[in-house]
Amino acid sequence: MSGGTGEAPLRVAVADDEPLARERLRALLASEPDVALVAEASSGAEAVREVLTHAPDVLLLDIEMPAGDGFEVLRALPPEAVPVVVFVTAWQRYAVQAFEAQALDYLLKPYDRERFRAALARARQQVELVRRADARPRQEALLSGLALAEVPPRRLPVKEDGVIRFVDCAAITHAEAEANYVRVHTAGGQHVLRETLTRLEERLDVRRFVRVHRSVLVNLDHVRELEPLSQGEYLLVLDTGTAVRTGRAHRARVEQALGLGPGDPGAR
């Protein structure tokens, strides 16, 4: 590859569950100038953690991995924290879905060195554009995402009637802000927490809970269906039958979290 960015090295992360595949990528990256391999992951969950921790410019991402496939990795990341993505996979059938997920390139195994270098060159160009456009807001988002990713609890302690009860986070369907309190809903009832919705959002698993409105947080696992409304809003129907209206400002995040692409019904 000719020339570098003239700025910082290109920071690359690799996520692939096959040790030999990672070894090959390491070797190819080592032969490139101005490239730093900053993280490796062998599962989807590990990939999310490594991206949030190391903030790579480029993510070379396998699709079929344990603990979350490549698409789940992208959905789990805050939009601002998603690096330039090049899928590296042995499966041709995911190509359309990959580009719908805003991937820059799609390397189909087995690929040769020249094909790899072409993909990396495209990624480098994209990173240069991102750096020139706006670097500081992205870094702030990454730091915010890292805070969100800190070991989410499995249960929430709730003080009620003089005792502390523990609510299974997986059972939470949604949570609503009420001034400085939060009303947490499950299929079995409601609980009131003495904290803000923002603080609760920071504590919960970012891969599962998404802010769909400034005052509502929803557990994606409990979304049964979605109805597009006018002016960029959606009506989410939960498996409890509860309907939740999303905010226009949260549309992009909702669509990404639910895996909606430009060609899906109701999506942009």
Mean pLDDT of 76-85: 88
Contact 262, 268 (CB under 8 A): yes
User: Tokens for 206?
Assistant: 């970012």
Binned at pLDDT 50, 70 and 90, residue 136 comes out as: low
Per-residue tokens: 165: 């009860």
- pLDDT (0 to 100) of residue 218: 95
Q: Looking at residues 35-47, what average pLDDT do you find?
A: 92
26-30, 184-188, 206-210, 242-246: range with lowest mean pLDDT: 206-210
Which range (46-55, 75-84, 132-141) has the least confidence?
132-141
- Sort strands 84-89 and 58-61 into parallel, antiparallel or unpaired: parallel
Residue 5 pLDDT > 70: no
Handedness of CA 259, 186, 149, 198 (dihedral sign): positive
